[in-house]
Amino acid sequence: GYDFLQNNYSVYYHDASTSSNIKQLADFVKSCGENDLVILDNAHAGFDSINNMLCEDYKHEFLLLVTSRNVERSVTQSQHPDNSQEGFSYIEIFKEEYAYKELCANEKTIKHIIDQYVGDVIPEDRIGNIDTLKDKCKADYNILRFYVQAWKRKGCVGCLSDVHEKEILEDVFTRYLRHKPHQLELLKIAALSQFEIDVDSRWIDYDLEELQKDGLVQLVETEELNSGRYVSWIRIRHPSVAIYFLKAAAYKHRHIANRIDEFGLQCIYSYLKTKPQNLLKVIGSIPLVEGESFYNGIYCNKTLFKVLCKVIEGFDLNQIIDNHYYIVMYLLSFIEMNGEDASAQIKELLHVYSSRIKNMQPDTSYLKKLTQIILLSYPSSLIRTLFENLDFRDIGEKTKEGLVGFGDIIIFMIQLKKSRLPKPDIEAFCSELDFKYIGQQIRSTNNWEYLHWFLTLNVTGNFSTDNIYSCFNELNYKELAKQASKSTLRVCDCIFSFILSSRGIGISEDKLITFFKVLNFKKLGLCAREGNEDVFALLNFIRLALSAKVPGSSIRFFCSNLDFRKLGKQAIENKVESEDISEFASIIQN
């Protein structure tokens, strides 16, 4: 930033870890131009907001520098329903565009930082082994600073790389905790800050200005959702600093040396007892936790589960959607940690979840959220619990607003089938679907997997002839035939049902003739040989092919690859009519 300032650029800095007003920043940068540099620091602390900002349309080009930890794609993907780029991840996009550079601590940088901390140029032989120092500090400049401070305390005697961990802990305790009347408050904040959990300052019963004197505690103000009020949040400057505070306390107070996790859990329990509305903010940070005992303490705690139920009971629809990602994450972990014992508790929460939504007239984004929930492979009984309060006709009607993809509809219907809901509920949903839109979605990719699911769900949804016609009439039969030639066994099996359905609902002969002209009969015959098609299905297919004036050579290609011994056994087992067998044999002979 400083270098750009020297070259007549305007430089704007935003720290995502200390400010939530990303919308105001997005509005501001729309006025930026080619001589402006915007720096977004700590993007991992506000990944969803950053993703949404980067999806905005900007009229002018400007320079953008984003700093972030290299975290998993699943963490940096957009979850917000208003984001048209759901699944968008700024880290992945930058990597694809070659606008990404992974920074590592090198020897020159470490030496420069040491000189800055000491206040003098230090000879390399006094620093010692740089690689050893890098390993000890884990490329964390906060830990490096603690090493330098401990080294300076003993007069810079010996090599910096030879400083022991216990000397660091002794110095950290003496410098920041010993004789401090607010030692307990600092440790409580550290217990949450080690997981990058910002603490509602109203939980801390101490003078906030006093806590900030050492420069390691930060105070951040954010605007409360939909209230216009501002809340003060407090945190230790960096998780590694918080961890060293706790380690130093454990080193000096031997009786708590093996109880750091327990202390952290008790702080979280205490925090949530007084500020239960912050539970989901805490849950959002728990995946960063290392240590099974701590993880178990969060997700095996029945009291916290009841807190979550009460929090959701007080949510409006916007809050449910905004926090949906963390709710699902909590439920998934709760099931993983508690196994079958979780069923009753999850049912209780899903009852709360669906009841809160029932009377809120949810928009189509809710269906997207439902599909995210049900993709977690909950038992069908739990899915049924979630579904039983819903107005299926209303949800079906809202799919026509064009904000729900075909995949969402398919996933939703698959779960309707698995959950064994009453047939009228399924029919109510299906009756409101826009089948023309579904056909257009299939046409956009000519994906046989989509067609397979559609035909499978027809058995469940009992689509009317008009519904199926509206869908199939939008399809490109020529392109589907081309794709069929490259497809899998399951798709080849699907072709028979598709063609029979097309003829049955009155699709034009021209479309069927075009389909058969392009179809690879040899490949289809091989698939039929490997599959479980019976004589009757094959006979109907051949009848249609002949009526569409398919050349005899193509029919011979198809039949030459069939397993007639297998078909004969199936005909006997399925008690196929003798007339059908005779007709099939006659067609083959001719």
pLDDT, one tens digit per residue, over 349-395 is 766 666 666 555 555 555 665 555 555 445 566 566 667 667 778 77
Are 90 and 117 found together in one domain?
A: no
Q: Is residue 190 part of a domain?
A: no
- Identify the DSSP state of 178: T
Q: Is residue 169 part of a domain?
A: no
Are 65 and 136 found together in one domain?
A: no
Are 320 and 393 found together in one domain?
A: yes
Amino acid sitting at position 519: L
Are 137 and 92 found together in one domain?
A: no
C-alpha to C-alpha distance for 152 and 410, rounded to whole angstroms: 65
Are 81 and 114 found together in one domain?
A: no
Are 28 and 118 found together in one domain?
A: no
Three-state secondary structure readout of 40-99:
EECHHHHHHHHHHHHCCCCCCCCEEEECCCCCCHHHHECCCCCCCCCCCEHHHHHHHCCC
Q: Is residue 367 part of a domain?
A: yes
Q: Which of 117, 268, 254 is nearest to 173 (CA)?
A: 254
How many helices (H) and strands (E) would you count in the chain? Answer: 36, 6
C-alpha to C-alpha distance for 585 and 397, rounded to whole angstroms: 49
> Is 451 within 8 Å of 471 (Cβ atoms)?
no
The pLDDT assigned to 173 comes to 92
Q: What is the dihedral of CA 45, 51, 52, 56, to 10 degrees?
A: 130
The low-confidence residues of the chain, meaning pLDDT below 50, are 73-88, 288-289, 376-377
| Boundary (domain end) residue, out of 400, 426, 452 | 426
Length of the chain: 590
| Boundary (domain end) residue, out of 388, 408, 426 | 426
The pLDDT assigned to 167 comes to 92
User: CA of 116: how far to CAs of 3, 137, 167, 389, 523, in Å?
Assistant: 19, 17, 21, 63, 72
Q: Is residue 81 part of a domain?
A: yes
Sheet hosting strand 36-41, strand order edge to edge = 10-15, 36-41, 63-66
The pLDDT assigned to 169 comes to 92
> Can you give the C-alpha Rg of the chain in angstroms?
32
| Boundary (domain end) residue, out of 96, 122, 150 | 96
Are 368 and 332 found together in one domain?
A: yes
Q: What is the dihedral of CA 567, 570, 575, 578, to 10 degrees?
A: 10
The pair of structure tokens assigned to 288 is: 């960063």
> Is 446 within 8 Å of 476 (Cβ atoms)?
yes
Confirm whether pTM is higher than 0.75. Answer: no
β-sheet bridge partners, residue 63: 37
Q: Is residue 488 part of a domain?
A: no
Are 317 and 343 found together in one domain?
A: yes
Are 320 and 395 found together in one domain?
A: yes
CA 482 to chain centre: 34
SS3 242: helix
Are 9 and 79 found together in one domain?
A: yes
- Close Cβ partners of 59 (under 8 Å, ≥ 6 residues apart): 30
The pLDDT assigned to 75 comes to 41
Q: Is 483 exposed, middle or buried (0-12, 13-18, 19+ CB in 10 A)?
A: middle
Q: Is residue 519 part of a domain?
A: no
Q: What count of other Cβ atoms lies within 10 Å of the Cβ of residue 314?
A: 10
β-sheet bridge partners, residue 232: 221
Q: For strand 217-223 and strand 36-41, is the pairing parallel, antiparallel, or unpaired?
A: unpaired
- Close Cβ partners of 268 (under 8 Å, ≥ 6 residues apart): 191, 192, 197, 282, 298
Are 113 and 74 found together in one domain?
A: no
Q: Is residue 464 part of a domain?
A: no
The pair of structure tokens assigned to 346 is: 């999850």
Range of the domain at 69: 2-96
Are 52 and 157 found together in one domain?
A: no
The pLDDT assigned to 170 comes to 92
C-alpha to C-alpha distance for 297 and 287, rounded to whole angstroms: 13
Q: Which of 138, 113, 140, 129 is nearest to 163 (CA)?
A: 129
Q: Which of 519, 534, 520, 512 is nearest to 581 (CA)?
A: 534
β-sheet bridge partners, residue 236: 217
Q: Is residue 406 part of a domain?
A: yes
The pair of structure tokens assigned to 363 is: 């928009």
Q: Give the count of domains, the chain.
A: 3
The pLDDT assigned to 534 comes to 62
